[in-house]
Amino acid sequence: MKSHSLVIGYLLWIFGFIGAHRFYYGRPISGTIYFFTLGLFFIGWLVDLFLILEMQETADDIFVQGPLDYDLAWILLTFLGVFGVHRFYQQKWLSGLVYLLTGGVFLLGIIYDYWTLNEQISEVNCEGVL
């Protein structure tokens, strides 16, 4: 079983010029660079179409599978993160409520979570407790 999906990776690649697929596969530095350069001026974005398989395999080797699903967490962060839904999913009730009341802590919390969501999920999965 894989921790990160190719389907989700390719769907996020559509928004790859802002680095979405790179964040998903645990590459926050290049994701940030893509965000500020529009996917390295769209050229890197096109090249990544062929690199996603390797990124997915690497993510599967690094991140721990367990009770929390990476794909669902990333979908929740991407589309409902401002409401803290991804934090509620991880049973981080207090920070989820704070995100809900502050718009994802004024969007800065969302940026933080784009950088760290894989590690947050991996940590919970290592504990194996929900």
Q: Cα–Cα distances in Å, from 50 out to 9, 12, 55, 95, 115?
A: 12, 14, 10, 37, 23
Burial class (CB in 10 A: 0-12, 13-18, 19+), 40: middle
Is the pLDDT at 1 greater than 90? The verdict is no
Q: 3-class SS at 47?
A: helix
Q: Which helix (H) or strand (E) segment is 123 a member of?
A: helix 108-127
The Cα 112–Cα 83 span in angstroms is 15
How many angstroms separate the most distant Cα atoms in the chain?
Answer: 43
Q: What is the pLDDT of residues 10-63, one digit of tens each?
A: 999 998 888 999 999 999 999 999 999 999 999 999 999 999 999 999 999 999
pLDDT of residue 130: 56
Q: What is the pLDDT of residues 48-101, one digit of tens each?
A: 999 999 999 999 999 999 999 999 999 999 999 999 999 999 999 999 999 999
Q: CA 39, 40, 42: angle at the middle one, nearest 5? A: 60
Pair 117, 77: CB distance under 8 Å: yes
Predicted structure pTM score: 0.90
Q: Which of 12, 34, 82 is nearest to 4 (CA)?
A: 12
Residue 129's pLDDT band, with cuts at 50, 70 and 90, is low
